[in-house]
Structure 1
Amino acid sequence: MVSLKKIYVTGGIVVLAIILGLSAFTTWYTVDESEQAVILTFGKVEEGISEPGLHFKLPWPIQSVEKLSKETFSLQFGYEEKNGEIVEFPDETKMITGDENIVLADLVVQWKITDPAKYLYNADNPREILYDSTSASVRSIIGSSKIDDALTSGKAVIEADVRDLLSSLIEKYDMGVSVVGVKLQDVELPNQEVRKAFTDVTDARETMNTKINEAKKYRNQKMNEAQGEKDALISRAEGEKAARIERARGDVAVFNKLYVEYKSNPEITRQRLILETLEQVLPGTEIYIMNDEGNTMKYFPIRPLEADKPKSEKEGSEKDNG
């Protein structure tokens, strides 16, 4: 019969072996590159570990480890994608714009865990809180936006505003997560007839903008042409002005010289001016020498005689006249 002492010894050895086994297997742990860990001492958070590799701690149940991922998570608002199939939730995405129109808006929120301790113990269900905060943020921003902005060119502004509002809400909740990005997936009208009417309005607006741009282009072209013609006219006028001023200065200089000559030889200068004026006024006039002594008028033809004169004589007479 086995003695009671032997039973106690055997039980103690078993308990000791269990304790040693737990100590051997629970005093170390590893953290991967994509993980972060939290050390708990009797359930109290001690420190966060983000360094990858092998780490040591006190054996369980004194200390334990909680590991969380460093990856960026995606929160799908208004729809869910599973196994390549998309399930939509229109009741969640239906909202009213600032100009009292109804739209369906779904989006994706990129987020990550930045403080594992707060994520684990500051909130009961951080993912649900994040989803509700996303719903409140997008409804608030869409509710203050016009339908044109939500459906066309204002999506980028709406995304930025939703991200800012959502980040501020998450910061107030202090649950150890941060928002990386917000992306609107689809913003559309609730039924086909409304979508078609809005598409027609959008097309008309685009046509209007195109026509306005073409008109502005034509106006700018004509204004540039008119400006060029104006500059050319001004340039020609300035050139004509400068030329007339120079001619006037030349005339003044000539007059001053003639006046000097006139003061020294008035009669000769007067005759010279008369002859020069006749040359300018009557450059191609035929000259006749006439003698009227009675009923018959006789004249002496100068031009025909000049035409019959030999060339050498003409040149000589011109030199003499010169």
Structure 2
Amino acid sequence: MTLKQIYTWIAIGVAAIILVTVGITSWYTVDESEQAVILTFGNAEESITEPGLHFKMPWPVQEVEKLSKETFSLNFGYSQDDKSNKKQVQMITGDENIVLADLVVQWKIVDPAKYLYQSQDPKLALNNATSASLRSVIGTSEIDEALTSGKAEIENEVREMLIGLVESYNIGISVSDVKLQEVDLPDAEVRTAFTKVTDARETSNTKRNEAEKYRNEKYEEALGEKDAIISRAEGDKVARIEQAKGDVAKFNALYEAYRKSPDITRERLVIETLEDVLPKANIYIMNDNGNTLKYLPIGQQQPPQPAPTQGGSNDDE
């Protein structure tokens, strides 16, 4: 074989390799759960999110980096299975108490180019932002809030602060949710003491609620009694007004009769007054010389008894 033939076969081989390389590296596929970024001589140009078959310039002109669309979880804080670990993340509350917090951050990649080239380690940046947000919020909260009723508010504040930090970093990450799993005390004895304090506080709240309920019941009863008294008073008022009107009408009628016949009316009033004052008395009307004119059976009178007969029987003697 001549030298020319050797060169010819080498050229054919090189061309075949180039053609195979071009054929293999000129297309790529993106799955439903993936997103890709095109690199032209190492510079990120565009992000591909549509699934399917795509074409590009062959290697080494263009390359493809594929990243997942799934939602990732970042666990920050202590592990509930190993609370005795001395490397647990401890933080100080606003009232200078030490607590352990367990936080889960849900995040996803929204810009592959920035995720790959804007930061050297975007996961570490997210972890540091989570630590800063949680420590900042816990540091302004009291231990009672962190361990009991204030967890939801702490969670919301951490979420808002973390989202703001990640957006300012511009590293192609989006935080979708933050869940505060647990806030606990680092020492068993302290936890026991705090549990007793919490139980005492709950008992105090229960007693206070019972007292408030009793107060409300008595207050409602007092209001009902007040309304009943007012209603009775209004009834008595109306009755007395009507009675007074009747008395006025009666007096006016009596005055009219007196104006027409004063003597007769005067005598009538005297007799009626005597009947009221002495209801059981026998009333006699006398003339001026003291002799009885007439027996008037006014009031309850006894029937007259028969007079005894003259003389008696021999038995009476």
**What's the TM-score bracket when you normalise by the shorter of the two chains?**
0.7 to 0.9
> Which shifted more, 201-210 or 254-263?
254-263
Do residues 75 (structure 1) and 71 (structure 2) align? no
* Residue segments in structure 2 that go unaligned for 5+ positions in a row: 287-294, 305-317
Matching residue within 144, 152, 157 for 1:156: 152
TM-score, normalization: structure 1? 0.83
Do residues 285 (structure 1) and 280 (structure 2) align? yes
- Distance in structure 1 (CA, Å) of the matches to 2:6 and 2:275: 158
Question: How far is 1:79 from its partner?
Answer: 4.6
Query: SS in structure 2 opposite 1:19?
Result: helix
Question: How far is 1:281 from its partner?
Answer: 4.2
User: Aligned AA for 1:36?
Assistant: Q
CA contact (8 A) 1:80 1:88 kept: no
> Which shifted more, 189-198 or 273-282?
273-282
Question: Map of 1:250-265 to 2, 5 A cutoff?
Answer: 250-265=246-261
Do residues 243 (structure 1) and 239 (structure 2) align? yes
- Distance in structure 1 (CA, Å) of the matches to 2:84 and 2:128: 17
Question: How far is 1:34 from its partner?
Answer: 1.4
CA spacing shift, 1:269–1:105, aligned 2, 3 Å: same
CA spacing shift, 1:290–1:171, aligned 2, 3 Å: closer
- Distance in structure 2 (CA, Å) of the matches to 1:227 and 1:86: 59
**Higher normalized helix content (fraction of residues):** 1
Which residue of structure 1 aligns with residue 200 of structure 2?
204
Question: How far is 1:225 from its partner?
Answer: 1.1
CA spacing shift, 1:147–1:79, aligned 2, 3 Å: closer
Query: SS in structure 1 opposite 2:87?
Result: helix
CA contact (8 A) 1:39 1:47 kept: yes
Which residue of structure 2 aligns with residue 297 of structure 1?
none
User: Aligned AA for 2:280?
Assistant: T
TM-score, normalization: structure 2? 0.84
CA spacing shift, 1:233–1:87, aligned 2, 3 Å: closer
Which residue of structure 1 aligns with residue 110 of structure 2?
114
Question: How far is 1:207 from its partner?
Answer: 0.9
CA spacing shift, 1:225–1:80, aligned 2, 3 Å: closer
1:227-246 CA-to-partner distances (Å, cap 9, x unmatched) read 11111111111111111111
- Distance in structure 1 (CA, Å) of the matches to 2:35 and 2:247: 100
Which residue of structure 2 aligns with residue 219 of structure 1?
215
- Distance in structure 2 (CA, Å) of the matches to 1:289 and 1:80: 115
CA contact (8 A) 1:78 1:88 kept: no
* Residue segments in structure 1 that go unaligned for 5+ positions in a row: 292-299, 310-322
Pairs aligned (count): 297
CA contact (8 A) 1:96 1:103 kept: yes
- Distance in structure 2 (CA, Å) of the matches to 1:22 and 1:173: 38
1:231-283 CA-to-partner distances (Å, cap 9, x unmatched) read 1111111111111111111211222222223222323333343444444444x
Query: SS in structure 2 opposite 1:260?
Result: helix
> Which shifted more, 56-65 or 67-76?
56-65
CA spacing shift, 1:288–1:169, aligned 2, 3 Å: closer
Between the aligned residues of both structures, percent identity stands at 62
- Distance in structure 2 (CA, Å) of the matches to 1:62 and 1:8: 27
Which residue of structure 1 aligns with residue 43 of structure 2?
44
CA contact (8 A) 2:114 2:172 kept: yes
> Which shifted more, 21-30 or 169-178?
21-30
> Which shifted more, 253-262 or 222-231?
253-262
Question: How far is 1:118 from its partner?
Answer: 0.7
RMSD: 2.9
Question: How far is 1:119 from its partner?
Answer: 0.5
Which residue of structure 2 aligns with residue 124 of structure 1?
120
